[in-house]
């Protein structure tokens, strides 16, 4: 079997799609070109139309694999809990097969695109398997999805980033190697904490022992890139516990670390049990201290704080996530996932049954969407949304937002004085050193950590000007 997979990968490598490609849009191209240009170059298919078709600018695909052993207490993702027996080594639950069938169908909707007269898109540069716990999926099933993606869009095997989320306790060294053989070259491991008590309090299905085991396995399998996901601001978490978790994470020598601030989401057990800012959750000051401690510690270990929640060694930034933050278009497949194609975000249903029906009805839904879209949705609103997305996302990044040039980009689309309005909003924050001006004076970014800590306040101040 492994050989077959290797063959698949080779075939992928060899195949190198002969399809004609429309030149992709350069990043930072005038706002409307992204939304409008695609339309013009693509034309409209008789069924899916442009919204249901490929986006020539999209080079990333997200695939949601919703299965988990159990749902963590803080989680509000679309998740299908299988019960704790469903480890990777047991017999395969039949739902994997049927879900992957669905995924194949959904991806396949784009396949006949060329036949419908679309000029198609570029090959995928990043693929991300998120969850859920993707590492519960047997390699055989993952292979099916990758193959379908490759058949449909083409995967730029040479250099593509193929990420996969894995949780401790759901994989072993062998399985990891299988995934890597299929082309996976980046593993994002959901550790969350190096503290057994906290893992239990969060409802995680793994133990600290399994975390260490997983780290050993990763070192052995040695993917090109791997990340440890951590959470701070957990109930009963002390600064000392967080310090220890950071120490252990650094000691494991991952190429990438994500540090997520716990967000208490509605309708989760955490929302029922805890109140934000009240014990046992940390108060605001402690919570800020968690963030600062991570920034300090990981910074001093040579990890670059390249996004509010993300740290990486040079060259190990997650390219897939960068596509999100750079507001680039991307495909998405699977339960509850959101795609961003043709300047439009579309979320799939979060419930399994609804998602099934959605895939069934894919073409019609997109057609509807398109008709609604062309039915006079205020063009200016679309453009404004795009601008605000750009502001919001760019300011999460270390490089910040390039303000110079926004007038040119958005001015023609009916939004005047973009640069002046943004600068007006941040003047007070620049004074207080929460926002920093780049040396050439053309970009702004949030200071690390003070500005990043109050990013919502600063970004909504900018929103106020529009």
Partner 1 sequence: MAVFARLAPRCACPGAREGIGGLWRSFVSSASGLCARHYSAFEGGDTAAAQPPVETDVANLISTIPPSRIRNFSIVAHIDHGKSTLADRILEHTGALKEALDKASSQYLDKLKVEKERGITVKAQTASIVHHVGGLPYLLNLVDTPGHVDFTYEVSRSLSACEGCLLLVDATQGIQAQTVSNCLLALEENLEIISVVNKIDMPAANPEEVTKQIEDVFGLGGEGDAALRVSAKTGQGVPELLDAVVHRIAPPETDREERPFKALIFDAHHDQFRGVVCLCRVIDGKISRGDKIASCGTKTELEVLELGLMCPEPTRTDKLEGGQIGYLVTGMKKTADIRIGDTLHKADQPVEALAGFKPIKSMCFGGIFPSSTDEYESLKKAIEKLTLNDSSVVVHRESSQALGPGFRCGFLGLLHMEVFLQRLEEEFAQSVIATKPFVPLKVIDGEMREKEILSPGDWDEVDWGRSTRVMEPIVLATIVCPNEFTGKVIQLCHDHRGHQVDHSALGSQRVMLRYNLPLPELAGDFYDSLKGCTSGYATLEYEDAGHQDADLVKLDIRVNGETVDSLSQVVPRVNSYKTGKSVVSKMKNLLDRQVFEVALQAVIGNKIIARETISAMRKNVLAKCYGGDVSRKKKLLAKQKEGKKRLKRLGSVSVPVDVFPALLK
Q: In angstroms, rounded to a whole number, what is the distance separating the alpha carbons of residues 11 and 30?
A: 38
Residues near 357 by beta carbon (within 8 Å), at least 6 away in sequence: 349
332 is an interface residue for partner 1 by CB under 8 A: yes
The DSSP code for 86 is: -
456 is an interface residue for partner 1 by CB under 8 A: yes
With contacts defined by CB under 8 A, name the span among 14-22, 43-51, 237-245, 286-294 that binds partner 1: 286-294
What are the tokens at 57? 């600018």
| Residue 348 contacts residue 358 (beta carbons within 8 Å) | yes
What are the tokens at 373? 């879209």
Q: Which residues are paired to 155 by β-bridges? A: 124
Site for partner 1 in 33-72 (CB under 8 A): 62
234 is an interface residue for partner 1 by CB under 8 A: no
Per-residue 3-state assignment (H helix, E strand, C coil) for 227-269: EEEEEECCCCCCHHHHHHHHHHHHHCCCCEEEEEECCCCCCCH
One of 263, 371, 374, 427 touching partner 1 (CB under 8 A): 263
Q: Which residues are paired to 166 by β-bridges? A: 189
Q: In angstroms, rounded to a whole number, what is the distance separating the alpha carbons of residues 117 and 345?
A: 24
One of 99, 129, 330, 366 touching partner 1 (CB under 8 A): 330
Min dist CB 334 to partner 1, Å, is 11
Min dist CB 308 to partner 1, Å, is 6
Cβ-based neighbour number of residue 119 at 10 Å: 16
If residue 102 lies in a helix (H) or strand (E), which one and from where to where?
helix 94-108
275 is an interface residue for partner 1 by CB under 8 A: no
Composition of the chain by helix, strand, coil, percent to 5: 45, 15, 40
245 is an interface residue for partner 1 by CB under 8 A: no
Q: In angstroms, rounded to a whole number, what is the distance separating the alpha carbons of residues 341 and 339?
A: 6
x/- map, 293-312, partner 1, by CB under 8 A: ---------------xx---
Site for partner 1 in 171-210 (CB under 8 A): none
Which residue's CB is nearer to partner 1, number 58 or number 403?
A: 58
432 is an interface residue for partner 1 by CB under 8 A: yes
One of 275, 284, 354, 408 touching partner 1 (CB under 8 A): 284
Residue labelled with tokens 């300090």: 296
268 is an interface residue for partner 1 by CB under 8 A: no
Q: In angstroms, rounded to a whole number, what is the distance separating the alpha carbons of residues 256 and 66?
A: 23
Site for partner 1 in 435-454 (CB under 8 A): 452-454
337 is an interface residue for partner 1 by CB under 8 A: yes
One of 202, 418, 434, 444 touching partner 1 (CB under 8 A): 434
369 is an interface residue for partner 1 by CB under 8 A: no
381 is an interface residue for partner 1 by CB under 8 A: no
428 is an interface residue for partner 1 by CB under 8 A: yes
Number of residues counted as binding partner 1 (CB under 8 A): 47
Helices marked H in 301-378 = 319-325, 352-360, 362-374
One of 8, 111, 114, 388 touching partner 1 (CB under 8 A): 388
> Which chain residues interact with partner 1 by CB under 8 A?
62, 130, 258, 260-261, 263, 284-285, 287-288, 291, 308-309, 321, 324-325, 330, 332, 336-340, 345, 347, 385, 388-389, 392-393, 396, 428-429, 432, 434, 452-461, 463-464
């Amino acid at each position: 079997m492994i050989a077959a997979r290797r063959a698949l990968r080779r075939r992928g490598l060899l195949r190198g799609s002969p399809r004609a490609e429309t030149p992709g849009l350069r990043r930072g191209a005038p706002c409307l070109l992204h939304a409008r240009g695609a339309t013009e170059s693509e034309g409209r298919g008789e069924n899916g139309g442009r919204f249901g078709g490929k986006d020539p600018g999209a080079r990333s695909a997200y695939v949601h694999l919703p299965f988990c052993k159990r749902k963590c207490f803080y989680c509000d993702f679309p998740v299908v809990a299988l019960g704790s027996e469903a480890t990777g080594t047991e017999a395969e639950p039949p739902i994997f097969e049927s879900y992957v069938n669905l995924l194949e169908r959904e991806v396949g909707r784009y396949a006949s695109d060329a036949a419908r007269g679309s000029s198609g898109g570029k090959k995928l540069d990043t693929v991300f398997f998120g969850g859920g716990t993707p590492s519960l999926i047997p390699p055989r099933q993952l292979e099916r999805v990758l193959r379908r993606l490759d058949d449909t869009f083409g995967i730029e095997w040479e250099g593509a980033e193929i990420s996969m989320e894995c949780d401790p306790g759901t994989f072993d060294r062998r399985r990891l190697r299988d995934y890597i053989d299929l082309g996976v070259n980046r593993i994002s491991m959901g550790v969350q904490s190096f503290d057994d008590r906290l893992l239990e309090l969060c409802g995680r299905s793994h133990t600290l022992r399994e975390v260490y085991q997983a780290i050993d396995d990763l070192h052995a399998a040695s993917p090109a890139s791997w990340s440890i996901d951590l959470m701070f601001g957990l109930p009963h978490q002390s600064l000392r516990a967080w310090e220890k978790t950071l120490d252990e994470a650094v000691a494991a020598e991952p190429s990438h670390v994500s540090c997520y601030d716990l967000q208490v989401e509605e309708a989760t057990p955490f929302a029922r049990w805890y109140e934000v800012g009240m014990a046992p959750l940390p108060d605001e000051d402690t919570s800020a201290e968690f963030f600062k401690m991570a920034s300090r510690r990981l910074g001093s270990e040579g990890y670059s704080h390249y996004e509010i929640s993300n740290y990486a060694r040079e060259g190990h930034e997650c390219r897939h996530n960068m596509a999100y933050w750079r507001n680039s278009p991307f495909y998405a497949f699977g339960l509850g996932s959101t795609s961003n194609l043709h300047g439009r975000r579309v979320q799939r249903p979060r419930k399994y049954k609804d998602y099934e029906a959605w895939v069934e009805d894919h073409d019609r839904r997109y057609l509807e969407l398109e008709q609604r879209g062309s039915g006079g949705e205020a063009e200016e609103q679309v453009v404004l949304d795009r601008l605000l997305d750009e502001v919001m996302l760019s300011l999460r990044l270390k490089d910040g937002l390039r303000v110079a040039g926004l007038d040119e980009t958005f001015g023609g689309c009916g939004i005047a004085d973009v640069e002046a309005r943004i600068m007006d909003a941040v003047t007070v924050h620049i004074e207080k050193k929460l926002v920093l001006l780049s040396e050439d004076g053309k970009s702004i970014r949030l200071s690390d950590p003070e500005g990043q800590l109050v990013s919502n306040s600063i970004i909504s101040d900018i929103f106020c000007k529009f």
